[in-house]
Structure 1
Amino acid sequence: MADVYLYPLADVKTKNTMNFSQNLTLYTTEGREGIHKKLRPDIQHEISLLIKSNIPNRSVEYTDNRVSRYSMKMGKCEITGMYLFAADVHCHHYNPLHLGGSDKFSNLRILHKEVHKLIHCTHKETIDVLISRLGITESLVSTINQYREICGLEPIDLS
């Protein structure tokens, strides 16, 4: 109005940053409750679905670390950065079990199910379809190739 910009204060939203706090700890009941209160509601919902999901032939360590890793990454794929719903979550062993890997937290990666398929896929036609469908760029292919190399697979060639 009259060359003056007016902002409706009721629509201004702020968010407190979550800085380091000794009260937020996994080792006390109050600390765990504080951590869960800081999670976004959509992530809380997806975590509850992940907890309820049944994965046969997997250890308790794997199941717990899968949920912890999803929470740590705020529900995003560790390669593409896209938000993942519980149905799309796959947990990749960075160092595969058959090559001496474990279910430890540091060895797991949260990935979109089709990115996970792309890491392990060996058929050129399927790889091309997945790259096209996911919109995978050259920089993402180089990251995927690092995962494939650890699994003992040939790198993906875009040419």
Structure 2
Amino acid sequence: MTKKALRNAQTKIKQAIKVIQKHQTVENVWRFNMVIMGIQNYYAAASHITIDLNKLNNRLNKALYNRLKEMRKEATFQDFTKSLQKRYKGYECNLYKIKEMVLVPIHAQRCKVNLNFSQSICNYTTVGRNKIHQNLRAINKQTLTHVMKQFIPSRSIEYNDNRISRFIAQYGRCAITGIELGLDDWHCHHKTPYRLTKDDSYGNLMIMHESFHRLIHMRNREKIQVLLNSLKLNAKQLTEVNKLRKQCLNEVI
């Protein structure tokens, strides 16, 4: 990270700390975490990222202590959601939580090899063409930034974490059609209804266009037919919709 990048990162994190100090809400702690993880993700390919983030952590320790000491409590690794446990496993650090949400550690990011560049990427071999197609499956950055900022207060911390993880895993595309999703045209679906299991785990969630989500839960036959006429599903898509309807204890269509 350049000196300018470190200064900018420090400013962003300080601002997020001040917001928590003024308004102690789960949503503001979430946004603090999103700032940290955004910086970690963006600079993950930097060869000295761990050293740089340790510098950043040392610069911000005083602000974290002075501004948040009255409201934060000691936390354990088990207080992380499962997705964050997977992400931060192996890092040694003192953990704290506010409103039962753990503050993610600033320094906890190792260098990741940049797999986007390879001498084998070209149009002249099967391997080269496949790598090009893999790299084209990037998520729309504007959409991802929007998604990461959206915290749903009525849902669990686990749900909010896994919702983002699932969106990234699907490259921001609909699970039914594979079409790229926009800012506000998609829903996060529980495969097994939440009302039955209270299961917000990563494996029970999937991202899809809101129209398909409505179709999966819809029971009125007339409304179902209207939506089917509008969507014009192919056989494979209809099979997937019916599989998900069965999981929700609804009749096939």
TM-score by length of 1: 0.71
Following superposition, the deviation at residue 54 of structure 1 comes to 3.9
Aligned pair in 2 of structure 1 residues 98, 136: CA closer, same or farther (>3 Å)? same
| AA aligned opposite 2:216 | I
Cα–Cα, structure 1 residues 34 and 96, in superposed 2: closer, same or farther, change >3 Å?
farther
- CA–CA distance in 1 between the matches of 2:250 and 2:192? 13
Query: C-alpha offsets along residues 2-44 of structure 1, whole Å, 9 cap, x if unaligned?
Result: xxxxxxxxxxxxxxxxxxxxx9x94451357969xx883x522
Instruction: Choose from 82, 95, 100 the match for 2:192.
Output: 95
- Aligned residue for 1:114? 211
* Paired residue secondary structure (1:111): strand
Q: 1:79 aligns with which of 170, 176, 191?
A: 176
State how 1:52-63 maps to structure 2 within 5 Å: 52-63=149-160
**Counterpart Cα distance in 1 of 2:170 and 2:237:** 18
How is 1:33-48 mapped onto 2 (pairs within 5 angstroms)?
A: 40=138, 43-48=140-145
Residues 31 and 46 (structure 1 numbering): CA distance in 2 closer, same or farther, change over 3 Å? farther
Return 125-134 or 58-67, whichever deviates more: 125-134
Q: Distance in 1 between matches of 2:252 and 2:161?
A: 31
Q: Is the Cα contact below 8 Å between 1:90 and 1:110 reproduced in 2?
A: yes
The one-letter amino acid of 2:214's match is: K
| Structure 1 contact 43–71 (Cα < 8 Å) conserved | no
User: Residues 32 and 148 of structure 1: is their aligned pair in 2 closer, same or farther, counting only changes over 3 Å?
Assistant: farther
Aligned mates of 2:113, 2:159 — CA distance in 1: 23
Residue 110 of structure 2 corresponds to: 30
Q: Which residue of 2 aligns with 1:69?
A: 166
Larger helix share, 1 or 2? 2
Alignment check: 8 A CA contact 2:151 2:160 kept: no
Letter in 2 for 1:71: I
Q: Following TM superposition, by how much is the alpha carbon of 1:152 offset from its aligned partner in structure 2, in angstroms?
A: 0.7
Task: Give the aligned CA root-mean-square deviation in angstroms.
Answer: 2.6
The gaps in structure 2 that reach 5 residues or longer are 1-46, 48-85, 89-107, 116-134
User: Kindly tell me: are residues 126 and 59 of structure 1, through their superposed partners in 2, closer, same or farther at Cα, counting changes over 3 Å?
Assistant: same
Q: 2:230 aligns with which of 133, 141, 146?
A: 133
- Give the Cα separation in 1 of the matches to 2:222 and 2:113: 48
State how many pairs are aligned: 130
Residues 93 and 101 of structure 1 are in contact (CA less than 8 Å); yes or no, is this contact kept in structure 2?
no
1:144 CA displacement = 0.7
What amino acid is aligned across from residue 117 of structure 1 in structure 2?
A: R
Counterpart-to-counterpart distance in 2, 1:103 and 1:92: 10
TM-score calculated relative to the size of structure 2: 0.46
Distance of aligned partners of 1:88 and 1:32 in 2 relative to their CA distance in 1, 3 Å threshold: farther
Larger Rg: 2
